[in-house]
Structure 1
């Protein structure tokens, strides 16, 4: 999977999690935050975003 594909997949997952947060019903905000951290903090994603940022800076 390319860095771009990995990043788009993670953003899609994060959007899904945020949609869950925005639903008007009782929810566990800590669990939602944990899910976001899990998706956005994956080591492969962190590396991919770093590489993409380096490309933009060139």
Structure 2
């Protein structure tokens, strides 16, 4: 999978988590945040985003 595909997959998963959170029912905010962190801070996703940032001339997030 390319860096772009990994990043887009993670963004898509994060969007689904947020869509679920926005449904009008009781939510466990801590659980939702944990799910987002699990998706967005996966080592492969973080490495892919860092490489994409370097290639685009953007500073990687510290």
Does the alignment reach a TM-score above 0.5?
A: yes
CA distance in 2, matches of 1:33, 1:10: 14
- CA root-mean-square deviation: 1.1
Aligned residue-pair number: 58
User: Which consecutive residues of structure 2, in runs of 5 or more, have no partner in the other structure?
Assistant: none
User: Which consecutive residues of structure 1, in runs of 5 or more, have no partner in the other structure?
Assistant: none
- 1:1-58 equivalences under 5 Å are 1-57=1-57
Task: Give the structure, 1 or 2, with the largest relative contact order (CA under 8 Å, sep 6 or more).
Answer: 1
Q: TM-score, normalised by structure 2?
A: 0.90
Higher helix share: 1
